[in-house]
Amino acid sequence: MRIRSYRPHDAEAVHRICVATGDAGKPAAGILRDPHLVAYVFADPYLLLQPELVFVAERDGAVLGYVVAALNSPEFYARWQLEWAPRFFTSHPASPDADARDADAQLRTLLHQPRRLLSADLDSYPSHLHINLLASARRQGAGRLLLEAVFDELARAGSPGVQLSVRASNTGAQAFYRAVGMNRLASRNGLAVRFGQPLGGVDHSVRENETPVRHGHG
Ligand SMILES: CC(C)(COP(=O)(O)OP(=O)(O)OC[C@H]1O[C@@H](n2cnc3c(N)ncnc32)[C@H](O)[C@@H]1OP(=O)(O)O)[C@@H](O)C(=O)NCCC(=O)NCCS
């Protein structure tokens, strides 16, 4: 298995893998009437808005897994609302009063109001990521290599830290994040568990008349 940067022709494979693994590693079709919704929220916007932070795992020319990330979560979601969400106004409208048990309606709302996905600790961990591998590609070290690739790129881009959320029931993924050395962060509810990785990056986006501030942990 080889890890490489994303190329535009990988978009279909990334979307397909997200749909095939979007229910904590199982096909999203098991929980969604429209399984593509999971990729509209958790994969495709990253390919459009931050393709330089996407890496894929490939074997024999076939893409079997990926990691996507956002450098600055609030800025990323602001761009998402302007550049990604509008194309879904008619086909997948938001339903803000959605029944909490209707997963399709919940995802349609997130598609139009992505800031609902913002977590705490944004000063220390402003970046976030999502990682998914097909079942045939798991436990062969690709997940660890994908994380290393995206951590390096985020640090290079100046991120002080990256975080992610994982369903409390997804114990395999939690074991993975612990095994790669990520820190468990406090969670607001019992349904999700958060992990963070300090990256020690320096924010280079210093505005005029501002004293440079060093973020990070080292
Ligand atoms: C979670 C996931 C990304 C891990 O990637 P991976 O390539 O399988 O993980 P690696 O092979 O790099 O594993 C590194 C170490 O993590 C630990 N680990 C990984 N998966 C594990 C599991 N299911 N159970 C227990 N430990 C696990 C092990 O210590 C492993 O080392 P080892 O195989 O030498 O014992 C992958 O299994 C996956 O895509 N799962 C389905 C989708 C998903 O749940 N995504 C995360 C949503 S937040």
In a domain, 218, yes or no: no
In a domain, 104, yes or no: yes
Q: How many CB atoms lie within 10 A of CB 172?
A: 12
The residue whose CA has the least distance to atom 19 of ligand 1 is 176
How many domains would you assign to the chain?
A: 1
Residue 179 CB less than 6 A away from ligand 1: yes
Residue 159 CB less than 6 A away from ligand 1: no
Residue 175 CB less than 6 A away from ligand 1: yes
In a domain, 81, yes or no: yes
The residue whose CA has the least distance to atom 37 of ligand 1 is 138
59-68 residue pLDDT tens? 999 999 999 9
The residue whose CA has the least distance to atom 24 of ligand 1 is 172
In a domain, 175, yes or no: no
For residue 204, the model assigns a pLDDT of: 55
Q: What is the mean pLDDT of residues 143-156?
A: 98
For residue 205, the model assigns a pLDDT of: 52
In a domain, 193, yes or no: no
In a domain, 105, yes or no: yes
For residue 29, the model assigns a pLDDT of: 98
HEC assignment per residue over 131-151: EEECHHHCCCCHHHHHHHHHH
Domain harbouring 22, CATH code: 3.40.630.30
Total-model pTM: 0.92
Q: Strands 161-167, 127-133: parallel, antiparallel or unpaired by DSSP?
A: parallel
The residue whose CA has the least distance to atom 12 of ligand 1 is 141
Residue 132 CB less than 6 A away from ligand 1: yes
In a domain, 135, yes or no: yes
In a domain, 34, yes or no: yes
Domain carrying residue 6: 2-142
For residue 97, the model assigns a pLDDT of: 72
Whether residue 206 is predicted with pLDDT greater than 60 in this model: the reply is no
Whether residue 213 is predicted with pLDDT greater than 90 in this model: the reply is no
Cα torsion through 163, 148, 14, 12, rounded to 10: 130
Distance 195 CA to ligand 1 centre (A): 14
Report the mean per-residue pLDDT for the chain: 92
